Amino acid sequence: MNLTPPTACPAWARLAAHAEGWRTLHLREIFAHDVTRAVQFVAEAPGVRYDYSRQRMGAITLRLLSHLAEQRGLGQWREALLSGKVVNTTENRAAWHTALRSATPPREVADTLQRMRVLASEIRGRKAFQRVVNLGTGGSDLGPRLLADALSDGALDVRFAANVDPRDLAHALEGARPEETLFVIVSKTFATQETMANAAAAKAWGGKHFFAVSSNVAAAQRFGASEVLPMWDWVGGRYSVWSAAGFAAQCAMGPENFDDFLLGGREIDEHFAAAPLEKNVPVLMALAGVWNANFLGCATQAVLPYANALRLLPAYLQQLEMESNGKRVDRTGREVEYATAPVLWGAEGTVSQHSFHQLLHQGTQIVPADFIDAGENDILVAHLQAQADALAYGTDDPSLPSYRQYPGNRPSSILSLDKVTPRNLGRLIALYEHKVFVQGVVWNINSFDQWGVELGKQLPTEILSRR
Ligand code: F6P
């Protein structure tokens, strides 16, 4: 496996030189000179169209970026990821989330999924519970919360509490009765202080029914969970929505829809494994991000889903991208001399337009944006298109006062789905997962550990013990 810094690759130096030329080029002129651009800089994955024509790059840029991916040994790394080899070296683990959505999953995965289907069907069918409350944080909360918010069919009232601030749990329990409430405690370690505090508070409230999702079965049983669904050390928290960590979402959307979600993820795995680099959507997303961060100097990345159902996507992707690739040392322990993950932020359009788009259009920082077109309705799509065009082309009218001028030349991509469905959401999340992986390979960092959060986890216990 290639463990050298990317800066040692011949393609890196060529990209750096090539970027100089792009500093003076404007997307307005590029589109004017190349009428084929709008169809050329587009790639398709199952159910998703990726339009990166508004990125500040050309055919040569793309070729050099593909060379970089090859020189980084992407093929070998990809094979290691997809076949469940140890890619998380600091914890000596695989990162085999793709096995959770495979057509031929390991036995333990198939058994767990079947158990989840039975339980979720019973809970939805028998109406023994009026409320399901997911207690978890980070990857044990953000994924199922996103899915439930986007795809709940209304058959069951499913809520989430993540914050140790009691107000969060109080909200989740408004109007609920203990005998009709099922708590699902999701914690891979069953040791995260906030989740344990919320679980204890749920018991103190009079909660009687507890399921757990954890790799620490003994601790979950000691707590009194009547059902413990397993998690495995080869599934990272932020990649666990496909596992039993998604159980509350499965209760909200129904087992068949959850199966469709898994299917969508699997289709993208197959695309990622087989499509040539220049047509491979997660690879292209990753390389556009590398180009912007490392060669055009962009420090942040916006995600703008134009669908209310996807309003929680930016929060989900913040953990996925920043916990995975917010790293300062490479796989050999050396401090890196190049940028790794940009700060990811965003909000649902069109609401975001009336908040921070001013900065996107006229601020001093260039913020590349991913627009997500979920085909929800014509007005939304028109707004999305307008924003992407205004960012790319700006205005070219010197008669306007400077405060009314739009410089343009601000890069963005458009990911289009035909609708927000379980299968499409599976596709979208899997695309971003593989994007993150490819960037980790380019940057020579381990995308699957999160040592940076450990210190902040330990200190509160010490501080509390001194009080
Ligand atoms: O924030 C750190 C982290 O370890 C995340 O990676 C994880 O998703 C979250 O805490 C929750 O951990 P657990 O599922 O063990 O409670």
Q: In this structure, are residues 131 and 178 in contact, taking their beta carbons and an 8 Å threshold?
A: no
Kindly give the distance from the C-alpha atom of residue 260 to the centroid of ligand 1, in angstroms, as a whole number: 26
Kindly give the distance from the C-alpha atom of residue 231 to the centroid of ligand 1, in angstroms, as a whole number: 12
Query: For residue 452, what is the DSSP state?
Result: G
Kindly give the distance from the C-alpha atom of residue 138 to the centroid of ligand 1, in angstroms, as a whole number: 5
Kindly give the distance from the C-alpha atom of residue 93 to the centroid of ligand 1, in angstroms, as a whole number: 16
Q: Which atom of ligand 1 is nearest to the CA of 240?
A: 8
Among protein residues, the one with the nearest Cα to ligand 1's atom 9 is 138
Identify the pLDDT of residue 121: 97
- For residue 104, report the phi and psi dihedrals to the nearest 5 degrees: -125, 70
Q: Which two tokens stand for residue 389?
A: 């065009």
**Rounded Cα gap, residues 467 and 285, in angstroms:** 48
Of 436, 453, 459, which is best to mutate to test ligand 1, by the most ligand atoms within 8 angstroms of its C-beta? Answer: 453
Kindly give the distance from the C-alpha atom of residue 236 to the centroid of ligand 1, in angstroms, as a whole number: 9
**Rounded Cα gap, residues 193 and 160, in angstroms:** 16
Q: In this structure, are residues 183 and 211 in contact, taking their beta carbons and an 8 Å threshold?
A: yes
Q: Which two tokens stand for residue 237?
A: 């928290």
Q: In this structure, are residues 372 and 305 in contact, taking their beta carbons and an 8 Å threshold?
A: yes
Q: Which atom of ligand 1 is nearest to the CA of 236?
A: 6
Residues 6 or more apart in contact with residue 146 via CB below 8 angstroms: 241, 310, 312, 313, 315, 316, 425
Kindly give the distance from the C-alpha atom of residue 319 to the centroid of ligand 1, in angstroms, as a whole number: 10
β-pairing, 48-51 vs 42-45, is antiparallel
Of 137, 223, 449, 455, which is best to mutate to test ligand 1, by the most ligand atoms within 8 angstroms of its C-beta? Answer: 137
For 19, 192, 220, 367, 376, the CA distances from 158, given in Å and listed in that order, are 49, 22, 21, 35, 24
Q: Residue 419, SS3? A: coil
Q: Which atom of ligand 1 is nearest to the CA of 189?
A: 15
Answer yes or no: pTM beyond 0.95. yes
- Using a 10 angstrom Cβ sphere, with 0-12 exposed, 13-18 middle and 19 or more buried, the burial of residue 375 is middle
Q: In this structure, are residues 393 and 31 in contact, taking their beta carbons and an 8 Å threshold?
A: yes
Q: Which atom of ligand 1 is nearest to the CA of 192?
A: 16
Identify the pLDDT of residue 296: 98
Of 215, 450, 451, which is best to mutate to test ligand 1, by the most ligand atoms within 8 angstroms of its C-beta? Answer: 450
Q: Tokens 């309003």: give the residue.
A: 311
Identify the pLDDT of residue 376: 82
Q: Which two tokens stand for residue 391?
A: 């960012």
Q: At what angle do helices 193-204 and 454-466 cross, to 10 degrees?
A: 60
Residue 147: closest CA among 234, 244, 246, 237? 246
* Cis peptide preceding 350, ω within 30 of 0: yes
**Rounded Cα gap, residues 351 and 346, in angstroms:** 11
Among protein residues, the one with the nearest Cα to ligand 1's atom 13 is 187
Q: Which two tokens stand for residue 447?
A: 């995308």
Kindly give the distance from the C-alpha atom of residue 265 to the centroid of ligand 1, in angstroms, as a whole number: 22
Q: In this structure, are residues 216 and 116 in contact, taking their beta carbons and an 8 Å threshold?
A: no
Residue 340: closest CA among 302, 409, 282, 292? 292
Of 90, 186, 187, 188, which is best to mutate to test ligand 1, by the most ligand atoms within 8 angstroms of its C-beta? Answer: 188
Q: Which atom of ligand 1 is nearest to the CA of 237?
A: 8
Among protein residues, the one with the nearest Cα to ligand 1's atom 5 is 138
Identify the pLDDT of residue 11: 98
Among protein residues, the one with the nearest Cα to ligand 1's atom 10 is 138
- In this structure, the residues whose C-beta lies within 6 A of any atom of ligand 1 are 137-140, 187-189, 192, 195, 237-238, 323, 450, 453
Q: Which atom of ligand 1 is nearest to the CA of 139?
A: 8
Q: In this structure, are residues 49 and 374 in contact, taking their beta carbons and an 8 Å threshold?
A: no
Residues annotated catalytic, as ranges: 323, 354, 457
Query: For residue 418, what is the DSSP state?
Result: S
pLDDT means per 10 residues in the chain (467 residues)?
A: 92 98 95 94 98 98 98 98 98 98 98 98 92 98 98 97 98 98 97 97 98 98 98 97 98 98 98 98 98 98 98 98 98 97 98 98 98 94 98 95 97 98 98 98 98 92 88
Which helix H or strand E contains 43, and what residues bound it? strand 42-45
